[in-house]
Structure 1
């Protein structure tokens, strides 16, 4: 999640693209997912995008169609995707593609969105374009040819485009041997490519793939399919020679696979031969560009191709020892290839067989449940979802998709109470504000605050002593001076209390949140949140928390953090002056100067502040 400020709820979908920018999307996704999302957008994989009450819903065509939703909740950007990579809450490549589609289209999406490329926007906005176009149109042919040939000598991609058109004019296809030589030269650096060199190396590879895209756009799909397969094998070989700490080879593998699919969709190649090549690519490659290729290429392969794919992997599949734990790379690749085939056939029984060749993981069971649902076998779908949820545990981070699937099926069967109970069990197993908010969304008629508070206090006092249930401010109303203590023995209690105070703040009970923290303790981060909330109503409380935080920072004896402590002291000085009690700051300053007079860097910062 990321804080984006308070927005009105009347036009959430219109405001998403005003808030999002490429930097934010890149920060949320990380380099690998961002670049893969860009590729998905440029390949026009964002389909069926439409405004919703909360934000935007879209379908993204990946290994299978995935449902993505982006929406605003108060001052927070939220997202969800039905793909496995997003089960842990990650901002996956599908979320990236949808988010970028909002930035690159001039209208709100209603149906398939058509992205506007940045180059198109910048060209139309460039005031020098009319001048340049007029000049070029007036050039004589010889001068124009001279300029183009000079540029082509330095720009091999332009040279290839011109050569392609020249060869087409003569009825000659692309020079495949020349292309293979170039691909081999790009991937075979002849030495190890270090971390500091890999970015430049990847840019050269990207430029070559861009040229292959030009070739495909020119209608040479069969040739591009061959070249993409060759390039992918070279990329796989390069794994031992390239420092891939940042995942560049994964991005390259995905780009080549996406281009290969585009080329195959454009051509009329023999589906049986294609199936055999895909089976070999998937089961022998370390890179995952052709992961579950049968389901990705199902429309291209057709019945005959899917049959040939199964036959191609069947001999190796049958040789797998049933006792094999499935963690070896060879077994794993065969397993995923067979799963992809079963998904392409839309056969839930075949999918169970593919999974059962190893121990079926709980996280796989929601995929099986969804397959049974598509086949109209709802009872089996519910049973598989129950098994998956019981295997992962309600509090597990990757149980979300399974829980949501099962809750939806239970609601469809009229078992609303059982559906809501799934989310209560999740809160019991893993209390958090997000799980509490989901509870409220599922059933607004329940006093979840009282129920959740009782559960959290039970965690703090398992004996069942009711003294904690009647919590309130301590008799003297004092705030402990060591609120930033990192006492390990208090960590579990502080975690439960922090969740309770966070929930109380969310519900608007700021005073109860403060009283709970004072009596039961809370986390350091929550103390700071509470202190900011109390600056106006009770500056003394805020000063106590800030002073404890500043002293804790100084005690760490890390000079590069002293500025943070001094910044907190500046806040304390302002609050003390506003409250008419400047002596609160003066006493703190005196203590810091006395107890930490040996810290030269700290003394310099205090002097610079005029203290």
Structure 2
């Protein structure tokens, strides 16, 4: 049954996941400036930094936003959990606080409506004097309402300028959101100006803004994609203005090709094909002239080659001409061979496509290829063409070059399809992995694909043997113990105790959680072995030795350890 808040502790756990929820419990005392509104809850949570949190209740549930890195990725983080728990702890007073918030809102509306024009102007001017961002936004609206396009340009470029948000020359992720809100005002103004007969001016301003944003984009932490979204919308504004203004096709082609060949397109990701209707025949001819000249001057350049490909597709060029562009610079991984093969297949030339793909396998640099997509392409065509044995041979060669679990799995799949996975095929494959592996002297050393392959096969006894010979790391020992503790509880218990030892000298939430999981597994083994008394004695000693670690003790208490 839902409470008057509209959310429960169980819902917080569901939204955050068990791990973030448990961590949120430890941040309850770090919640400050808690403010409960009619539908929103805001607070500050002290963590590695002071993080701003906002929870919003909707008819279909609760959402949360936090300024921490994990929260900026769209996750309901431990800080959101802490704020939600803090509210639940004072649930009885929440209706009163919400009623007070609603009353304050009504009072404010009534007060504003009772002010006369001069009083409201005075109020707005007071805020403009103390809020530079608000002043800039209103200045833009005022300029857009008049005919002073010079002022509009200055204000738009000012709002799209990232420098005021850069600390030490770099825009951090927390500041990117504020920049996005400001930039939205500029984009709205440009759209309005385009619709009201100022499209030619908008074309020029948008180009200046695109160049400015492109120069600074590499110095912005855009983890949540806010600035990338602004850049994409800015490109849309420019294109819409071009369609409305019909600028000179040749000049537009000059700007477009120069932009696409430069280093400033990462932010906007403009494509030549977007401008086909703007360029028309004359503009496309000019673009072709410029692109071909650039490609001939630097046929190995990625931008030049990519533009040539776009141009040919826009003009409906022949597959052979496209292949000629790519064949000038074949990637050592075989990726270019695959691109050519796919183009040929789309053109209805499957035999030539397979020839190019096979050539990619032969020509690939052993240290950089072959590209796994190329391998998949060839093997799928072999299987489809009734040549499963050839697919197996390709997978064998890949395993010899790339001794990984994935390569082993691919060979196993191909060999089973060819009905040849039984001995000696599997033994040969495992021996390839064994010759690549080296015995490990400690749990911290990197594990081997051999143990992973045996685990993946479900051959646990052979995996234990390989691990005992020194081919397993801590992760693989743990996987072995977890999978076989019902059959080999004594062996699994030994693994858990070996993994527990190093953790007892460390601190931190993640360490305590991992340690608790291992202790729970060890307890399960003792129960299977009917040696619970020994586990009780072990835990008594452990708790005595670790008693200063309060968070660990609380976690152990919570799990009955």
- TM-score, structure 2 length as denominator? 0.60
1:69-122 CA distance string (max 9 Å, x none): xxxxxxxxxxxxxxxxxxxxxxxxxxx9xxxxxxxxxxxxxxxxxxxxxxxxxx
Picking from 214, 217, 235, the partner of 1:236 is 214
Picking from 265, 272, 280, the partner of 1:294 is 272
Quickly say closer, same or farther: Cα 1:226–1:284, change in 2 above 3 A: same
Unaligned runs of 5+ in 1: 1-20, 25-95, 97-127, 464-481
Quickly say closer, same or farther: Cα 1:146–1:434, change in 2 above 3 A: farther
Query: SS of the residue aligned with 2:431?
Result: helix
Q: Name the structure 1 match of 2:428.
A: 455
Q: Name the structure 1 match of 2:163.
A: 189
Q: Within 1, Cα distance between the matches of 2:158 and 2:555?
A: 61
Q: Name the structure 2 match of 1:549.
A: 499
- Are residue 351 (structure 1) and residue 322 (structure 2) matched? yes
Q: Name the structure 1 match of 2:419.
A: 446
What is the root-mean-square deviation in Å for CA atoms of aligned residues?
Answer: 5.5
Q: Within 1, Cα distance between the matches of 2:337 and 2:234?
A: 30
Q: Name the structure 2 match of 1:502.
A: 455
Q: Trace 1:184-223 onto structure 2 (pairs within 5 A).
A: 184=158, 186-187=160-161, 189=163, 193-194=167-168, 197-199=171-173, 202-215=176-189, 218=192, 220=195
- Are residue 575 (structure 1) and residue 525 (structure 2) matched? yes
Q: Name the structure 1 match of 2:336.
A: 364
Contact 1:235/1:249 (8 A) holds in 2: no
Whichever of the two has the greater Rg, that structure is 2
Q: Within 1, Cα distance between the matches of 2:527 and 2:376?
A: 52
Q: Within 2, Cα distance between the matches of 1:602 and 1:353?
A: 67
Q: Name the structure 2 match of 1:375.
A: 347
Q: Within 2, Cα distance between the matches of 1:191 and 1:175?
A: 25
Q: Within 2, Cα distance between the matches of 1:282 and 1:536?
A: 61
1:476-495 CA distance string (max 9 Å, x none): xxxxxx9982486xx6xx51
Q: Within 1, Cα distance between the matches of 2:320 and 2:289?
A: 18
Q: Within 2, Cα distance between the matches of 1:192 and 1:607?
A: 42
- Note the C-alpha offset of 1:454: 1.3
Query: SS of the residue aligned with 2:285?
Result: helix
Q: Within 1, Cα distance between the matches of 2:536 and 2:450?
A: 32
Query: SS of the residue aligned with 2:163?
Result: coil
- Note the C-alpha offset of 1:358: 4.9
- Are residue 535 (structure 1) and residue 477 (structure 2) matched? no
Q: Name the structure 2 match of 1:310.
A: 288
- Are residue 386 (structure 1) and residue 358 (structure 2) matched? yes
- Note the C-alpha offset of 1:500: 2.1
Contact 1:514/1:530 (8 A) holds in 2: yes
Quickly say closer, same or farther: Cα 1:537–1:385, change in 2 above 3 A: same
Q: Name the structure 1 match of 2:149.
A: 175
Quickly say closer, same or farther: Cα 1:265–1:527, change in 2 above 3 A: farther
- Are residue 526 (structure 1) and residue 476 (structure 2) matched? yes
- Note the C-alpha offset of 1:178: 1.4
Q: Trace 1:11-30 onto structure 2 (pairs within 5 A).
A: none
- Note the C-alpha offset of 1:458: 1.2
Q: Within 2, Cα distance between the matches of 1:302 and 1:496?
A: 57
Q: Within 2, Cα distance between the matches of 1:569 and 1:248?
A: 43
Q: Within 2, Cα distance between the matches of 1:376 and 1:204?
A: 51
Q: Within 2, Cα distance between the matches of 1:398 and 1:279?
A: 33
Query: SS of the residue aligned with 1:187?
Result: coil
Q: Within 1, Cα distance between the matches of 2:397 and 2:340?
A: 23
Q: Name the structure 1 match of 2:59.
A: none
Q: Within 1, Cα distance between the matches of 2:367 and 2:408?
A: 13
Quickly say closer, same or farther: Cα 1:565–1:252, change in 2 above 3 A: same
- Are residue 227 (structure 1) and residue 205 (structure 2) matched? yes
- Note the C-alpha offset of 1:528: 0.7
Q: Name the structure 2 match of 1:84.
A: none
- Note the C-alpha offset of 1:543: 0.6
- TM-score, structure 1 length as denominator? 0.56
- Are residue 485 (structure 1) and residue 424 (structure 2) matched? no
Quickly say closer, same or farther: Cα 1:609–1:503, change in 2 above 3 A: closer
Quickly say closer, same or farther: Cα 1:413–1:256, change in 2 above 3 A: farther
- Note the C-alpha offset of 1:194: 2.6
Quickly say closer, same or farther: Cα 1:302–1:524, change in 2 above 3 A: farther
Q: Name the structure 1 match of 2:261.
A: 283
- Note the C-alpha offset of 1:409: 4.6
- Are residue 272 (structure 1) and residue 244 (structure 2) matched? no
